[in-house]
């Protein structure tokens, strides 16, 4: 009897796994802007809606918008220049750029669909407009690369496999751990892809892409000597990013 129950559990687990595998295969599509095949479970309109819905809450978590219209206008101007002079303007996304009133957290991030943020803590450390363009170009790369949408779809897939593993053979924890490591590795790839796209956007808009290396130096200094090892982080080490940025600069300048 016990063996029969185990057999049924294995069959149910395999059926669940097959369902999520087939679902993932049907969600594969080529990103027309990067040429990379991705797992995507939502439309661009859905991405835009998610970004607009969550933007006020994200701003509130960082103290709202920075109360300086001149600085806000600069962030918007540089961001729009990057969009309008690159392939980003041909995407369906609604790019909006926000300077946040957070003077402690050195960060910039993008929500799905085009809502892009930079904290005053990072903004205040930038030395020139070109470095600001490097930060915003990187975040535009996340939007255009559909990285959030891809992570959501891949998370759904690995959660489904973990469920199948739990039902079939009490291996849900193992499958989940493999999925988390895979998502972590993909996350680092997203950062490098966004750096590469950011370099292209900077060159297209007439900015000096070498200044993105300066941004990496700022991030490295801010992290200090106790920064987490790369294998524990969703972001590649700044030194490795600098090497890749130099490769991107040579690639796009030779085209």
Q: Is the pLDDT of residue 168 over 80?
A: no
Who wins on pLDDT, 41 or 171?
A: 41
Range 199-219 average pLDDT:
95
Q: Which residue has the tokens 């926000």?
A: 98
Range 33-42 average pLDDT:
83
Helix ranges (DSSP H) in the chain = 2-26, 44-61, 69-84, 120-123, 129-144, 147-169, 172-205, 211-223, 238-253
Who wins on pLDDT, 211 or 148?
A: 211
Judged on CB neighbours under 10 Å (0-12, 13-18, 19+), 190 is buried
Handedness of CA 38, 40, 45, 50 (dihedral sign): negative
Query: Among 113, 131, 147, which Cα is nearest to 211's?
Result: 131
Handedness of CA 188, 193, 194, 199 (dihedral sign): positive
Q: Is the pLDDT of residue 155 over 90?
A: no
The whole-model pTM stands at 0.79
State the chain's mean pLDDT as an integer: 81
Tens of pLDDT, residue by residue over 134-146, are: 999 999 999 999 9
CA gap 142, 33 in Å, rounded? 12
Q: Is the pLDDT of residue 96 over 90?
A: yes
Q: What pLDDT is stored for residue 206 in this prediction? A: 97
Range 78-102 average pLDDT:
96
Range 164-186 average pLDDT:
44
């Amino acid at each position: 009897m016990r063996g029969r129950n185990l057999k049924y559990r294995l069959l149910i687990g395999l059926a669940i796994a097959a369902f999520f595998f087939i679902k993932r295969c049907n969600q594969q599509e080529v990103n027309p802007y990067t040429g990379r095949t991705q797992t995507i479970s939502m439309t661009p309109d859905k991405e835009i809606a998610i970004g607009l819905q969550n933007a006020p809450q994200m701003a509130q978590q960082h103290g709202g918008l920075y109360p300086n219209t001149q600085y806000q206008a600069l962030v918007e101007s540089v961001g729009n220049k990057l969009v309008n002079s690159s392939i980003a303007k041909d995407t369906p996304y609604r790019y909006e750029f926000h300077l946040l009133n957070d003077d402690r957290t050195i960060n910039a991030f993008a929500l799905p669909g085009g809502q892009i943020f930079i904290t005053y803590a990072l903004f205040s450390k930038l030395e020139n407009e070109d470095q600001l363009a490097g930060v915003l170009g990187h975040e535009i790369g996340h939007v255009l690369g559909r990285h959030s949408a891809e992570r959501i779809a891949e998370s759904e897939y690995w959660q489904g496999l973990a469920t199948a593993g739990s039902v079939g053979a009490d291996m849900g924890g193992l499958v989940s751990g493999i999925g988390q490591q895979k998502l972590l590795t993909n996350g680092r790839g997203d950062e490098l892809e966004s750096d590469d796209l950011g370099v292209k956007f900077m060159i297209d808009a007439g900015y000096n892409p070498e200044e993105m290396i300066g941004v990496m130096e700022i991030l490295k200094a801010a992290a200090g000597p106790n920064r987490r090892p790369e294998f524990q982080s969703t972001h590649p080490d700044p030194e490795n990013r600098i090497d890749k940025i130099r490769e991107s600069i040579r690639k796009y300048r030779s085209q």
